[in-house]
Amino acid sequence: MIYLPYNIIVLIKQILDIDQMKTNPSTGEPITEGVPMRIENLSKNAIEAAVRIKEKSGGKVTGIIFGGEQSSSAMKEAYAIGVDDGIVIKGYKGKNPSVTAKVLSDKIKTLPYDMVILGNQSADTYTGLLPGKLSSLLNVPLLGNAVSIEPGEKEVKVTRVLEDHNVILKGNFPVIISVSQEINEPRLPAVLQIIKAGKREIKMETASIQDSSSIKVLSDKAPKSERKKEVYEEPEKAIPVLTRVIKEAML
């Protein structure tokens, strides 16, 4: 296997921390006020994959976040993990993947790259559309849902896991690679790296966007869940009832 220094762009998605999000009991809508932002889990997998390739082969990892002023903390976290350079593009708060793909592809075209690595979807929308749209706009191959990445001299090989077998995909550089969570276990950055990253400047750019989005959120409510609550202080009385309920649920 030939290892060369590669220029890698990693696309980083920042989302609300859904683990800390609660639902308004009156409306069923999520309460977003005061919920902190974090790097989406699959973006962490993408960062880890890019940094591991750099550590083995050399080269440079450039991170891009399409976010806002609040994205500085996410980029500094990416620096601490091993991203060399980063750009935060602000100016759009919508959810249209076509707009996101257009802005990101316009920026990617200005940078040297062998690979663009990103998550295969994100936890806030689950559309999974961005990798394919980027592939179309950049006119480069997409190797999707990768669980391993093996770059060579002129091409890269990735493994994709299906239900009963693996599939090997190959593509000549430059390529877009979307990763699944099985590809790696993202590292926790060392304290020293966090301190160094905290002192670095963040490059901010503003996207010029004319959004004619036809995407509108019509409803964003949690389904109602009503449960019958019964308390038994004596286990010997509770066991027959619990057994009956489980059997009824399985029918």
Q: How many CB atoms lie within 10 A of CB 154?
A: 10
Structure confidence at residue 39 (pLDDT): 93
Structure confidence at residue 132 (pLDDT): 94
Structure confidence at residue 227 (pLDDT): 64
Backbone angles phi, psi at 198, to 5 degrees: -65, -20
Q: Over the stretch 2-57, which tens digit does the pLDDT of each residue have?
A: 668 999 999 999 988 777 778 777 777 777 777 878 999 999 999 999 999 999 99
Alpha-carbon gap, residue 247 to 162, rounded angstroms: 34
Alpha-carbon gap, residue 200 to 25, rounded angstroms: 42
DSSP run (H or E) holding 240: helix 235-250
The stretch 210-219 carries a mean pLDDT of 65
Is it true that the peptide bond before 174 is cis, omega within 30 degrees of 0? yes
**Structural domains present in the chain:** 6-206 (3.40.50.620)
Alpha-carbon gap, residue 105 to 187, rounded angstroms: 28
Instruction: Give the tokens for residue 6.
Output: 């590669």
Alpha-carbon gap, residue 141 to 160, rounded angstroms: 15
Q: Which of 165-174, 185-194, 205-214 has the lowest mean pLDDT?
A: 205-214
Residue type, 150: E
The mean pLDDT of the chain is: 87
Q: Over the stretch 222-245, which tens digit does the pLDDT of each residue have?
A: 776 666 677 777 777 778 887 887
- Residue 180, classified by CB atoms within 10 Å of its CB into exposed (0-12), middle (13-18) or buried (19+), is middle
Position 159 pLDDT exceeds 60: yes
- Residue 30, classified by CB atoms within 10 Å of its CB into exposed (0-12), middle (13-18) or buried (19+), is middle
Q: Which residues contact 155 (CB under 8 A, 6 or more apart)?
A: 170, 171, 172, 173
Entry pTM: 0.84
CB 176 within 8 A of CB 116: yes
How many helices (H) and strands (E) are present in the chain, helices listed first?
6, 13
